A = this chain, B = another copy of it.
């Protein structure tokens, strides 16, 4: 993409009403624009990151054998009466009346509708296990929306639902989701720690939240510092293997890590003192096993191996897709702007032309643009007639991990400059070498070589 043809409204001044850095930078980098309280338009740069994150979620869900569907945003209140949630949900549910005076709602979550799909089409245990998921816009009518996309009213979420014959099978689905979530977050450059969460009125202790440590997090978290040493990495996993998935679950959830909702001071004190940490975290996902709560209320039964009907065991599993942009920025930025991890960057590299209009510099930039594009990478070329300082400030703010700087002086020596946004370190090299280096870097991330 050439900046002269793009729509990247970078703000010169820091927006005053944004209280946290991700909100401020998303506005300042021209990623979002508020449409109403807690409701945002996603401008080109923001939408591009949103799509990258969405693609990663889809890819990891597919690997886990989960199947994508799409449910509507507007649903009938009748279904929600079957589960009892229509009256129970409170003011955060956006209630709507259509032209025929039918009571509808903008769905904040879809347990009822997915259970209805299941009961309409599945009647035998032979069709199990089954996990259906979607990535769709949701609405939660927050009383006081704030922090930009972190606590908005209209938000983009992945919500998945497993259907299993037995509690054991459902707990395997639970573990499978935990594994797939660990992989998903790591691909985005995030460490998200599974923490025992509040199970609420359901009972049991089968729910975990995934939290990203960040000063601006809404939750206070208590953990054994040893959990931050755990990474899933690129190990192989067979999602059908019950023991393998259970082992990952155990590895990642045995050490103490809880939010204030479930914090247990006595247990925490058993952790060696030097490893006891108290910090703040941002919730970016949650997994849940809730048994037969919805299947019993809504009659979602299958014929078991013995021919008798049994209600299916279910769970819900969510990833806050739009919220992740905020969480990633909270976890990865500096005073000059965003620092995108390679896995989610909107463009793989920026090209800055120090002297637009100089025939040699223009030609070198065009050649780099073509070579990167042909290698399957997406460059963002700042081809505007602006001063170098302004171009650098824009690139720093929008946070592309790599920048190639091209100027007449370097070209005389046959070199351009490759700069890491994260370390700020620059290295001079031939243009072809810069392209080769970027191809290598992104190959390691398996990006842009689809």
Which chain A residues have a beta carbon within 8 Å of chain B's beta carbons?
A: 5-7, 9, 30, 33, 35-36, 39-44, 47-48, 50, 65, 67-76, 91-92, 94, 96, 98-99, 102, 104, 106, 113, 116-117, 120-122, 127, 130, 132, 137, 139, 141, 143, 153-154, 450
Contact = CB atoms under 8 A, between A and B. Distances in A.
B70 A47 contact: yes
A127 B143 CA distance: 38
Nearest to A6: B67
Given A41-B70, A42-B69, A47-B70, A75 B6 contact: no
Given A44-B67, A73-B154, A35 B141 contact: no
A150 to B, nearest CB: 16
A96 B104 CA distance: 10
Given A7-B130, A67-B7, A72 B35 contact: yes
Which of A30, A35, A65, A121 has the largest number of chain B CB atoms within 10 A? A35
A180 to B, nearest CB: 15
Contacts of A113: 35, 41
A181 to B, nearest CB: 20
Given A36-B102, A41-B117, A96-B96, 11 more contacts: A9-B122, A35-B75, A39-B74, A41-B113, A42-B69, A42-B70, A43-B117, A44-B132, A72-B154, A74-B153, A98-B141
B47 A69 contact: yes
B106 A99 contact: no
Which of A9, A30, A70, A116 has the largest number of chain B CB atoms within 10 A? A70
